[in-house]
Amino acid sequence: MKACFFSRVKDKQLFEIVDFYRNDIRILKELGFDVILANRFHGIPLNCDLYFSWFWGPAIFSLLKSKIARKPNIIVSPLHYYDREFGYFTRPLYERIIMHLSMKLADYNLAISKIDFEGLKKLKIKKAEMIYLCVDTDFYQPGLIGNNKKNLVLSIAHLNKLSVKRKKLKLVVNSIPYVIKRFPEAKFIIAGTKEDGFEELEQLVKKLKINDVISFPGRITTQQKLQLYQRAKIFVQPSIFEAFGAAQAEAMSCGVPVITNKVGSLPELIDNCGIYLSKDDPKELGKLICDLFENEILWNNLSIEGRKRIVNNFSYHLRKNKLKVIIEKIMES
């Protein structure tokens, strides 16, 4: 059997680099499909038994081919229905029309969190289910234990203007002076491709005179990302909204306590196994980081319970088993 895996990415290498693509491609292969990767309309074949696409807007291309071929299709996508700053309702009308058409035409729409599934129900999309994204917990494992870790704070995001704002990376940078007052040896790393948002972060770092405290390694491989998680003492990502929270989940899987905001799907993901900011205040964030550096008992508890939560609720095998049921159902019908 053949399956076409489609997402309109610039470079097919991203199918291997981006974890949620790589995981779903691997699942399809393990379910017995010969997977054809496509990132453009002309690359989508007409002789596949299943069409599996990411993101409702671009998925319209794959849907058209699946309808011509008279074969089933599945779309996975974040929705951000409740994200009033960057979400569904902030998109241009034509984009929302295309997205809604894709939702209606799809044989299955898969939301990646309960809050996104609620959004689909608000849009009256009936052919929908929720399957959480997953973390490969066999790969994302803890490294050094807490006592052997240096006071390193990690954030990971694409450094474009939108992502810098959505992940509130300026808040992270602005917290650094408050941290180094109590922990002069502390270091910060913000990893991710340096795009049009990097310059403003760089200027803020110069203004705060903290160049020797923070580093920006740029684009990293999956292996390098794992090594950073395993070195980090704390993962900080105070997002405006998350439809799932993949970076937070990966950090937790590696036993790294997370400090973030109680927004979007993050309470579903983290529950009481992380620390939430009460307001966008760099002084408060700095204090939370320092307190976690100092409190070994709390650090160990969050590390152990965070890892356990991801293994029990968001593992690769859980997603694979749930996708298997849906794919078998859709192939039979």
- Per CATH, 2-134+315-332 and 146-313 having the same topology is answered yes
Q: 291-329: per-residue pLDDT in tens?
A: 999 999 999 999 999 999 999 999 999 999 999 999 999
What's the confidence (pLDDT) of residue 332?
86
pLDDT digits (tens, 9 = 90+) for 15-29: 998 999 999 999 999
pTM: 0.93
Q: Where are the domains of the chain?
A: 2-134+315-332, 146-313
User: What is the fold, at CATH topology level, of the domain defined by 146-313?
Assistant: Rossmann fold (3.40.50)
Return the pLDDT at 143. Answer: 86
Q: How far apart are CA 254 and CA 136, in angstroms?
A: 10
pLDDT band at 146 (very low <50, low <70, confident <90, very high): low
Note the CATH architecture for domain 2-134+315-332. 3-Layer(aba) Sandwich (3.40)
Q: What is the pLDDT of residues 161-218, one digit of tens each?
A: 999 999 999 999 999 999 999 999 999 999 999 999 999 999 999 999 999 999 999 9
